[in-house]
Amino acid sequence: MKFNDQLKFMWKNMKKNRLRVFMTILATTMACAFLIVLASVGFGIQKSITEEITSQQIITEVRVEGKEIESSAVQITKENLDELEDTDHVTAVVRRNYIDLPVEVTFENRKGEVSPTITNMEEELKGNLKLEKGEVPKAQNEVIVGYHFAKSLLTEAEKEAFEKEMQKSNGPIEEPTGYEGDLVGKDISITIIKDVEGKKETKTYTFSIAGVAAEPSKDWVIDSNIYIDESLKEEILSFASMEEGVDASELPYSEVLVYASGLEHVAQVTNDLKDKGFMVYSITEELDSVNLFFNVFKAGLIFVGTVAVIIASIGIFNTMTMAVTERTQEIGIMKALGAQPGIIRRLFLMESAYIGIVGSIIGVIISYGISIAANMLLPIIIDSATGSEGEFNITFSYIPVSLVVIAVVISIGVAMISGLRPAVKATNINVLSALRREL
């Protein structure tokens, strides 16, 4: 019997019991859809958390917390920089020192409080620092200011008005706009205020603004920094230190960041630095922990969905068993005419496979519809319930191709297994008994 003839024979027999076949396909569809939708919740939450992690941190950045020497942790100093720079696939080593004292900036008739950062400008620009306007500092007294630096510069009148508004209002108030002109090329003064035994000591530096840093990727991040070249590190930190006689050039760095040449090299750079004894943290380590948890979580969801598919397979087994019973005489005639047992078995397996394939296809379509509807409607419902306006942004359901493949394979596989026993039973029917319509 040719394959086309087998398909026609299968279709003819299935049309005799349309309602029963339809209900069996419906059960398979619901089970497949349940499996996909249930597992898609795990994929969706994992996708949302991964996107949140990657959006909050630069993906090529590796944070160096210190180095382990003789079972004790020490901070990174100038002597460790060569080891970091010589690591394969490292494009920049950013080292920063922060001033832990009150710092006041003055520009014309405006003042503000800022957080100066002493850093290596070249490494910052090779790493992640981008300029909104201006150029790279070329002289020792040139600095780069943060994107929101101008907003922190207030006149006395603006500062008093803002403080009064804060005292009167219990809710959020509009912050003052600060300086709205172009700061590039302008001179500013910063004053470091130091309290020594109840007496205040101050030291003032004058800088020229060479450039303004680009806007942070996150709206809630406020960048009011002043980036000062590390050629002034010794002079500034010697004054800012609360200890006398400290060699500022030997002070450890407040923060050290290593930048890999690409995302594909972050894991290798992280492991290489660990091998050298450095204590590091990178986005790959956090993502590995998240992925491990969600892989177990998704496996559990897929298992629960598979149970539903197995329950639906009972209907397929019942349908195929009834088909064998009803077609006993037809099977007997086929065997009497010389049909091979393999052909008879294949006919019934094709019917069960057909039920699994059609049910899986419809189940996949329904799953995508439910997923799209959930991602559109649930945020609206949650925003309405919580009173927020578009702040709740999460992917509740995500269906990757791999999930579709897994669900379809499970559904069709279970359907084939369910039809295997009735198919074998059909091949074992006695010809004479079948012709007398007896089993």
Percentage of the chain modeled with pLDDT above 90: 7
CA 87 to chain centroid: 27
In the structure, what pLDDT confidence band is assigned to residue 234 with cuts at 50, 70 and 90?
confident
**Average pLDDT of the residues of the chain:** 81
Contact 215/193 with Cβ under 8 angstroms? no
Instruction: Write the burial class of residue 126 (CB in 10 Å: 0-12 exposed, 13-18 middle, 19+ buried).
Output: middle
What's the pLDDT at 237?
A: 84
In the structure, what pLDDT confidence band is assigned to residue 206 with cuts at 50, 70 and 90?
very high
What's the pLDDT at 396?
A: 85
pLDDT at residue 242 greater than cutoff 70: no
Residue among 132, 282, 156 nearest 212 (CA): 132
In the structure, what pLDDT confidence band is assigned to residue 121 with cuts at 50, 70 and 90?
confident
Name which residue leads in pLDDT, 249 or 114. Answer: 114
In the structure, what pLDDT confidence band is assigned to residue 364 with cuts at 50, 70 and 90?
very high
What's the pLDDT at 386?
A: 67
pLDDT at residue 277 greater than cutoff 80: yes
What's the pLDDT at 361?
A: 92
pLDDT at residue 77 greater than cutoff 90: no
What residues pair up with 394 in beta bridges, in sequence order? none
What's the pLDDT at 108?
A: 86
Non-local CB neighbours of 343 within 8 Å, separated by 6+ positions: 1, 6, 334
Lowest mean pLDDT among 8-17, 49-58, 142-151: 8-17
First-residue to last-residue Cα distance in the chain: 25
What's the pLDDT at 389?
A: 59
What's the pLDDT at 266?
A: 84
Distance CA(5)–CA(16), nearest Å, equals 17
Residue among 20, 22, 31 nearest 410 (CA): 31
Pseudo-torsion of CA 426, 430, 435, 438, nearest 10°? -80
What's the pLDDT at 209?
A: 92
pTM across the whole model = 0.63
Contact 89/267 with Cβ under 8 angstroms? no
pLDDT at residue 365 greater than cutoff 90: yes
Beta strands 142-145; 199-213: pairing state: parallel
Q: In the numeric block, which tokens belong to residue 180?
A: 């709205």
Most confident of 14-18, 88-92, 244-248, 379-383: 88-92
What's the pLDDT at 248?
A: 66
Q: Is 256 left (phi over 0), alpha (psi -120 to 50) or beta?
A: beta
The mean per-residue pLDDT over the stretch 237-245 comes to 71
pLDDT at residue 439 greater than cutoff 60: no
What's the pLDDT at 130?
A: 86
Q: Write out the H or E segment, with its range, that includes residue 1.
A: none
Name which residue leads in pLDDT, 194 or 336. Answer: 194
Contact 392/377 with Cβ under 8 angstroms? no
The domain segmentation of the chain, as residue ranges, is: 3-55+289-435, 90-260
Lowest mean pLDDT among 269-283, 304-318, 382-396: 382-396
Distance CA(251)–CA(343), nearest Å, equals 84
DSSP string, 385-422: HHT-SS----------HHHHHHHHHHHHHHHHHHHHHH
Other Cβ atoms within 10 Å of 306 Cβ, number: 19
Residues 252-268 have pLDDT tens digits of 888 899 988 887 888 88
What's the pLDDT at 438?
A: 47
Instruction: Write the burial class of residue 349 (CB in 10 Å: 0-12 exposed, 13-18 middle, 19+ buried).
Output: buried
Distance CA(145)–CA(164), nearest Å, equals 28
Would you tell me the crossing angle of helices 341-386 and 3-15 to the nearest 10 degrees? Answer: 60
What's the pLDDT at 252?
A: 83
pLDDT at residue 87 greater than cutoff 80: yes
Q: Count the alpha carbons within 13 Å of 93 in the hemisphere toward its beta carbon.
A: 18
Residue among 24, 44, 2 nearest 395 (CA): 44
